[in-house]
Amino acid sequence: MTYLETQKREYSLFTAVAMIVGIVIGSGIFFKSDDMLNYTGGNVGLAALIFCIASFTIIFGSLCFSQLAARTDKPGGPITYYNEFIGKRWAVMFGWFQTFVYYPTLTVILSWVTGIYFCSLFGLDWGFNGWIATGFAWFLICYGFNIASAKAGGRFQEIAVVIKLIPLFVVAIGGILLGDPVGVVLNPSPQAIEATKTLTWVAAIGPVAFSFDGWVVSMAVAHEVVNSRRNMPRALVAAPLCILIAYLMYFLGICGYIGPERVMEMGDASVTLIAESLMGKTFATMITAFVTISVMGTTNGVILGSIRLPYSLALRNALPGSESLKKLNPNSRMPVNSAIFAIAVCLIWWVIHYLQNEFGWLINGDISEIAIAMSYLLYVPLYLVVFNMWRKRELRGIGYGILFPLFATIGSLFVLFGSMANPQFKYFIIINLIPLILGYIYGKNAVDLVKYD
């Protein structure tokens, strides 16, 4: 089957919205809330404002991407857009970044967080090394059942999507009704007021960007949405607003009930603390179990994508050993060699993550945040493509042609600027640049993606 053949459009507007919400809402809100408060000095109102800025950044960025999706029937998201509208070498460059930095860093961090919540669920006081060991075990298990059966990985993902919403809304509603969310916003502490006088709060953009990350994945199925020219822009506005409401309810609920100082003190265990305060230890254990499954599901979703990315690049002859990487297992129809390649890259990032925490290379941050910031920067050339379409009169309307690309670019630069607030940014950005440069060089050997299996 070729990409140029007619695709069957089965997804409705509601399905598109639900898909984006399900992809984005995952684990970030549960273990990044304390990081945001640490950067803002406990200023809840300022952190809520950053939530809103991040949401609107996504809206304008996704509206730009919807115009690109409407002009190609090939799935694949940004890699395809780079290939179609900028050039093959640039597409390979972006693909290398996702293969060697973006997906593996997310996989490692999410696996590690799974270890944190798993240990919390069973009362295991194993510390950082225990979290690493437990997270690594889930990492191997998750890759294992995804390699063995694509259906098994997909089924687990469906279950996790439903479960992940339970703790989010239970804690949010309970905290808002029984706490004082308005009070913590309107009456910040002296420390929180002081934080607004410097630019240290800008670094809170990194954790917020992590919490909202994943929206670009929806572009991969835009071509399968009914009347996508009309429905995808609607979905890409409605979904971030729904996510923003859910995140603000949770964040204001937990801060209003136990206070921002307590959230910063308890860190990732804040959700367990508020659940126990609301309805006792048994209920808290249930909520922690739901959060653990939610994080496990998010990890699984990222691994689903990471397994197939080297395979996708191999189909373009865009990776060394492409002939081996593009082979499918005759029984499971899974790209096993591609999965092994992805695991090998992740192992390198496991070591970097361990050393980063051991020696404190990133203050109140992790290896994935700078990768996410770099990905936002790499979206900017695609926003400029949309502007160029308007300039050539291939696109009508000042909104889509000028305002949306402008606001999307400003939002991306805002995210990048937030990550630059970390003193160690310059070192990690070099690591991010290496695969970009090598990918562009290797991209001269790439070919157009003609078919998939």
Residue 324 lies in a domain: yes
What value does the mean pLDDT of the chain take? 83
* Residue 239 falls inside a structural domain: yes
Work out how many domains the chain is built from and give that number. 1
The answer as to whether 3 is a domain residue is: no
pLDDT at 62: 83
Q: What is the pTM of this model?
A: 0.84
* pLDDT reported for residue 388: 94
Closest CA to 48 of 244, 278, 318: 244
Rounded to 10 degrees, what is the CA torsion of 330, 321, 107, 111? 70
Question: Is residue 451 in a domain?
Answer: no
- 2, part of any domain: no
Asked if the structure places residue 453 within a domain, the reply is no
The 3-state DSSP class for residue 278 equals helix
**150, pLDDT greater than 70:** no
The residue type found at 194 is E
Instruction: Decide: helix, strand or coil at residue 143.
Output: helix
pLDDT in tens, 290-345: 888 888 888 887 888 788 889 888 888 899 999 999 888 887 778 899 999 999 99
Phi, psi torsion values for 180, nearest 5 degrees = -130, 70
Sign of CA dihedral 234, 236, 241, 242: positive
Distance in angstroms between the alpha carbons of the first and the last residue of the chain: 7
Stronger pLDDT, 75 or 453, i.e. the higher one = 75
180 domain-assigned: yes
126 falls within a domain? yes
Tens digit of each residue's pLDDT (9 = 90 or more) over 178-204: 899 999 898 888 877 877 777 778 778
Percent with pLDDT over 90 in the chain: 27
Which residue segment(s) compose the domain that 196 sits in? 13-443
CA-nearest of 311, 322, 347 to 442 is 322
Which range is least confidently modeled, 238-242, 315-319, 383-387, 438-442? 238-242
Residue 394 maps to which CATH number? 1.20.1740.10
Please give the Cα distance from 200 to 412 (Å, whole number): 18
The dihedral formed by the CA atoms of 358, 136, 267 and 52, expressed in degrees to the nearest 10: 110
